[in-house]
C-alpha cells in the first residue's frame, strides 16, 4: 500500500532516529576538507544513501564548475556503483566498504563449518568447487548484477546429492527430492578490486579517518545551533532552500572563526 503525507505530498516516508517512520527528506551535504565549508546541499526524496554518490558528484560539478580531486564518504555510500562512478569521474574516492558476503560461522539455512559455501575449496584451473564429499560443483550460469559485478553459479550433480551421506548437513532446511547443492562466486569489477586494495593501506585509512570530524560537525551544528531537526516548509524545493539557508548560516560562522584565527595568529607573530 502506498503511503503519503497529508501535509506534504512530495515527502517520502522514512525511518527516523527514534525508530519510527515519518514523512521526511534526506538532506545531503558536501563539505570541503580544507576549511570545513559546506559546498553543496540538497534535500532528496531517496531514503537510502547507497544511491547518492553519483548525484552528489553531479551537483558538485554543476555548482562549482568542477569535480573534487578527492572524496571521502562513509559505508552507506561505499558500494560498487559509487566506486565505478568515482573512478569514471577521475575522483580519488575513500570509503568504508561493507561486504554483504563476508564468511560467516553459519548461513541462512543453518549450515555451518565445512558445509558453508565459502568453505568449499575452489579449483581455479578447472573452474569447479569441491564439496565435503569430494563431488565437483560445475559452473552453470553467470548472472549480471550491474556495475561490473557478476555472480557465477555452481551446482553439484543431482544424483550425487540424492544419495550423499552429508545430505542432512548440506541441504537446505526442507530439500525437495530433486534438490542439489549450489553455491555462488562473486566476480567484482577492476575498479572495486583496486579500491579495496587501496583501502588496505595505512595511508588510505588515515585519509578516511578525517571523515567524521569534517562531515559530522556541520550536521550537528545545523541541528543544535539552527534547531533544524524538522522542516518548517513543505515541498522539496522549499525544504531544500531551508537547508541551504541553514548551511549558509553555518558557512558564515565558519568564515568568522577562520578569520579570527588568522587575526590572532598575526597578532601573536607580531
Neighbouring CB atoms inside 10 A of 89's CB total: 17
Pairwise CA distance, residues 259 & 188, whole Å = 47
**All three cell numbers of 12:** 517520502
Pairwise CA distance, residues 52 & 1, whole Å = 26
- Give CA torsion, residues 246, 252, 253, 257, to 10 deg: 150
- Domains along the sequence of the chain with CATH: 12-98+200-269 (3.30.420), 113-190 (no CATH)
Q: Which pLDDT value is given to residue 7? A: 74
Q: Which pLDDT value is given to residue 4? A: 55
Task: Scan for cell 539557508, then name that residue.
Answer: 245
Phi, psi of 149, deg, nearest 5: -100, 130
Neighbouring CB atoms inside 10 A of 240's CB total: 19
- Exposure string of 119-143, with b = 16+ CB inside 10 Å and e = fewer, is ebeeeeeeebbebbeebebeeeeee
For the chain, count helices (H), then strands (E): 8, 11
Neighbouring CB atoms inside 10 A of 146's CB total: 9
The tens-digit pLDDT sequence of the chain (270 residues) is 455 566 788 888 887 777 778 888 899 999 998 899 999 999 998 888 888 999 999 998 998 899 999 999 988 899 999 999 999 999 999 999 876 555 566 777 788 889 998 899 999 999 999 999 999 999 999 999 999 999 999 999 999 999 999 998 898 777 888 899 999 999 999 999 999 999 999 999 999 998 888 888 898 888 888 888 888 889 999 999 999 999 999 999 999 999 998 888 877 766
The residues, ordered by sequence, that sit 6+ positions from 58 with a Cβ below 8 Å of its Cβ are none
Q: Which pLDDT value is given to residue 19? A: 72
Cβ pair 137, 182 in contact under 8 A = yes
Cβ pair 101, 82 in contact under 8 A = no
Q: Is 207 exposed, middle or buried (0-12, 13-18, 19+ CB in 10 A)?
A: middle
Q: Which pLDDT value is given to residue 266? A: 79
Measured on CA atoms in the order 200, 206, 208, 209, is the torsion positive or negative? positive
pTM of the model: 0.80
Amino acid at each position: 500500500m502506498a503511503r503519503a503525507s497529508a501535509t506534504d505530498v512530495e515527502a517520502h516516508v522514512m525511518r527516523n532516529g527514534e525508530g519510527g517512520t515519518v514523512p521526511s527528506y534526506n538532506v545531503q551535504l558536501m563539505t570541503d576538507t580544507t576549511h570545513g565549508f559546506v559546498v553543496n546541499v540538497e534535500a532528496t526524496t531517496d531514503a537510502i544513501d547507497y544511491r547518492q554518490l553519483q548525484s552528489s558528484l553531479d551537483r558538485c560539478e554543476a555548482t562549482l564548475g568542477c569535480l573534487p580531486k578527492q572524496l571521502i564518504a562513509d559505508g552507506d555510500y561505499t558500494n560498487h556503483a559509487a566506486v565505478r562512478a568515482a573512478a569514471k569521474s577521475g575522483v580519488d574516492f575513500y570509503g568504508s566498504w561493507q561486504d554483504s558476503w563476508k564468511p560467516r560461522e553459519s548461513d541462512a539455512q543453518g549450515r555451518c563449518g565445512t558445509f558453508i559455501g565459502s568453505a568449499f575449496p575452489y579449483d581455479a584451473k578447472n573452474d569447479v568447487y569441491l564439496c565435503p564429499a569430494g563431488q565437483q560443483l560445475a559452473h552453470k550460469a553467470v548472472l549480471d548484477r550491474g556495475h561490473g559485478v557478476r555472480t557465477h553459479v555452481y551446482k553439484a550433480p543431482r544424483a550425487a546429492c540424492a544419495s550423499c551421506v552429508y545430505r542432512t548437513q548440506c541441504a537446505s532446511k526442507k530439500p525437495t527430492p530433486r534438490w542439489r547443492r549450489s553455491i555462488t562466486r562473486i566476480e567484482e569489477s577492476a575498479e572495486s578490486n583496486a579500491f579495496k586494495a587501496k583501502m588496505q593501506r595505512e595511508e588510505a585509512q588515515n585519509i578516511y579517518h578525517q571523515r567524521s570530524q569534517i562531515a559530522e560537525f556541520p550536521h550537528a551544528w545545523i541541528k543544535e545551533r539552527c534547531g533544524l531537526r524538522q522542516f518548517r516548509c513543505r515541498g522539496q524545493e522549499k525544504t531544500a532552500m531551508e537547508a541551504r539557508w541553514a548551511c549558509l548560516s553555518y558557512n558564515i560562522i565558519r568564515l568568522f572563526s577562520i578569520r579570527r584565527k588568522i587575526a590572532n595568529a598575526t597578532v601573536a607573530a607580531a
